[in-house]
Structure 1
Amino acid sequence: MSASNAATRPALGKFARRWLYLIHRWIGITSCLFFAMWFLSGLVMVYVPYPSLTPVERLAGAEAIGWSAVNVPPRFDNGRLPRELMLEMRDGIAVWRVTGWDDAQTTVAASRGAVLRPVDASYAGRVASRFVNAPAERVARLQRDQWTVGGGFDRHRPLWKVSLGDAPGTEAYVSSSTGAVVQATTRHERFWNWLGSVPHWLYPTVLRQDQVAWRQVVMWVSGACIAAAVTGMWIGILRTRVGKRRFKGGRVSPYTGWMLWHHVAGLVGGAFLITWIFSGWLSVDPGHLFHGAKPDDVAMRIYQASDPMPAVSLERLRAVGKGAVKAQIIDNAGTPLVLLSYSDGRRSTLDATTFLPSRPASQAIVNAASRLAGFAPLLSITHLTSPDAYWYAVGTLPQLPVLRLRFADPTRTWMYIDVATGEILLTVDRRQRAYRWAFGLLHKWDLNALTVRRPAWDLLIWVFSIVGIVTSISGVWLGYKRLAR
Structure 2
Amino acid sequence: MSRFKNIILQIHNLSGTFLSLMFVIWFLSGFVLIFAGFPHASKEERFMHLSFLTKSDFDSIQAPSEDFSGKIELEKMNGNPVYRVYSGRKSQKVYSAISLIRCENTTEKEAVNLAEDFTGAKLKSVEKIEELDQWIPWSYYRALLPIYKCYLNDEDRTRIYISEKTGSIIQETTIKTRWAARLGAIPHWIYFKSLRLQKGLWVKVVAWISFFGILVSISGLIAGFIRLKKRKKSSKWTECSPYKKFWYKWHHITGFLFGFFVFTFILSGFFSVVDIPKSLVPVHAKVSAVKVWNQKTDVKQHAATSLSHLWNAVEGKKPIRKVVWKTVMNQACFWVYRDHYQLPDVYVAGTDGAFAKSNYSKKEISSWCKSVFADTGYDVKELNEFDAYYQKSGMWKRPLPVWQLTLHDADHTSMYIHPKTGEVIKSYNSNDRSRRWLYRSLHTLDFPFLKQHEWLRKLLLLFLSLGGTAVSISGLVLGLKWIKRKTKKSLPVRTKLVKMKFND
Return the TM-score normalized by structure 1: 0.87
Q: CA deviation at 1:38?
A: 0.7
Match of 1:145 among 123, 130, 133: 133
Conserved? CA contact 1:86–1:327, under 8 Å: yes
CA distance in 2, matches of 1:306, 1:370: 24
Q: CA deviation at 1:356?
A: 3.6
For 2:307, give the aligned amino acid. S
Deviates more, 1:223-232 or 1:149-158: 149-158
For 2:124, give the aligned amino acid. E
Q: CA deviation at 1:83?
A: 3.5
The runs of 5 or more residues in structure 2 that have no matched partner are 486-504
Conserved? CA contact 2:31–2:462, under 8 Å: yes
The 3 A distance-change label for structure 1 pair 30 and 291 is farther
CA distance in 2, matches of 1:216, 1:15: 33
The Cα offsets for residues 263-301 of structure 1, whole Å up to 9 and x where unpaired, read as 111011111111110111111115865796643898457
SS of equivalent residue, structure 1 residue 392:
coil
The 3 A distance-change label for structure 1 pair 101 and 464 is closer
Counterpart of 1:193?
Answer: 181
Deviates more, 1:224-233 or 1:328-337: 328-337
CA distance in 1, matches of 2:260, 2:89: 47
CA distance in 2, matches of 1:371, 1:135: 55
Deviates more, 1:423-432 or 1:309-318: 309-318
Q: Given the alignment of the two structures, is residue 327 of structure 1 paired with residue 317 of structure 2, yes or no? A: no
For 2:384, give the aligned amino acid. T
Conserved? CA contact 1:119–1:179, under 8 Å: yes
CA distance in 1, matches of 2:149, 2:210: 34
Conserved? CA contact 2:91–2:143, under 8 Å: no
Aligned length: 470
Counterpart of 2:256?
Answer: 267
Counterpart of 2:109?
Answer: 122
Q: Given the alignment of the two structures, is residue 163 of structure 1 paired with residue 154 of structure 2, yes or no? A: no
The runs of 5 or more residues in structure 1 that have no matched partner are 1-12
Alignment RMSD (CA, Å): 3.2
Q: Given the alignment of the two structures, is residue 41 of structure 1 paired with residue 41 of structure 2, yes or no? A: no
The 3 A distance-change label for structure 1 pair 253 and 459 is same
Deviates more, 1:196-205 or 1:216-225: 216-225
Q: CA deviation at 1:117?
A: 4.3
Deviates more, 1:433-442 or 1:390-399: 390-399
Conserved? CA contact 2:149–2:162, under 8 Å: yes
Q: CA deviation at 1:462?
A: 0.9
Matches within 5 A, 1:195-214: 195-214=183-202
CA distance in 1, matches of 2:408, 2:431: 14
SS of equivalent residue, structure 1 residue 308:
helix
Q: CA deviation at 1:483?
A: 2.5
Counterpart of 2:415?
Answer: 415
CA distance in 1, matches of 2:136, 2:291: 31
CA distance in 2, matches of 1:102, 1:186: 25
For 2:430, give the aligned amino acid. R
Counterpart of 1:9?
Answer: none
Q: CA deviation at 1:408?
A: 1.6
Percentage of pairs with the same residue: 26
For 1:319, give the aligned amino acid. E
Q: CA deviation at 1:64?
A: 2.3
Deviates more, 1:152-161 or 1:442-451: 152-161
Counterpart of 2:347?
Answer: 350
Conserved? CA contact 2:382–2:403, under 8 Å: yes
The 3 A distance-change label for structure 1 pair 246 and 252 is farther
For 1:408, give the aligned amino acid. H
Conserved? CA contact 2:72–2:325, under 8 Å: yes
Q: Which has the larger radius of gyration?
A: 2
SS of equivalent residue, structure 2 residue 16:
helix
The Cα offsets for residues 241-272 of structure 1, whole Å up to 9 and x where unpaired, read as 23679999993211232222111110111111
SS of equivalent residue, structure 2 residue 209:
helix
Matches within 5 A, 1:388-467: 388-393=387-392, 398-401=397-400, 402-467=402-467
Q: Given the alignment of the two structures, is residue 134 of structure 1 paired with residue 121 of structure 2, yes or no? A: yes
CA distance in 1, matches of 2:329, 2:368: 5
CA distance in 1, matches of 2:116, 2:237: 71
Match of 2:45 among 57, 61, 65: 57
Q: Given the alignment of the two structures, is residue 93 of structure 1 paired with residue 92 of structure 2, yes or no? A: no
For 1:124, give the aligned amino acid. A
Matches within 5 A, 1:308-323: 308-309=301-302, 310-314=304-308, 315-316=311-312, 319-320=315-316, 323=319
Conserved? CA contact 2:139–2:198, under 8 Å: no
CA distance in 2, matches of 1:262, 1:467: 11
Return the TM-score normalized by structure 2: 0.83
Q: CA deviation at 1:389?
A: 1.7
CA distance in 1, matches of 2:299, 2:230: 70
SS of equivalent residue, structure 1 residue 389:
coil
The Cα offsets for residues 406-459 of structure 1, whole Å up to 9 and x where unpaired, read as 112232221121110112222221111110001111111112311231210011
For 1:455, give the aligned amino acid. W
The 3 A distance-change label for structure 1 pair 303 and 173 is closer
CA distance in 1, matches of 2:294, 2:6: 62
Q: Given the alignment of the two structures, is residue 338 of structure 1 paired with residue 334 of structure 2, yes or no? A: yes
Conserved? CA contact 2:362–2:380, under 8 Å: no
For 1:214, give the aligned amino acid. W
Deviates more, 1:361-370 or 1:102-111: 102-111
CA distance in 2, matches of 1:221, 1:371: 46
The 3 A distance-change label for structure 1 pair 250 and 464 is closer
CA distance in 2, matches of 1:384, 1:206: 44
The Cα offsets for residues 341-362 of structure 1, whole Å up to 9 and x where unpaired, read as 2355464333443444534333
Conserved? CA contact 2:91–2:144, under 8 Å: no
SS of equivalent residue, structure 2 residue 241:
coil
Conserved? CA contact 1:62–1:343, under 8 Å: no
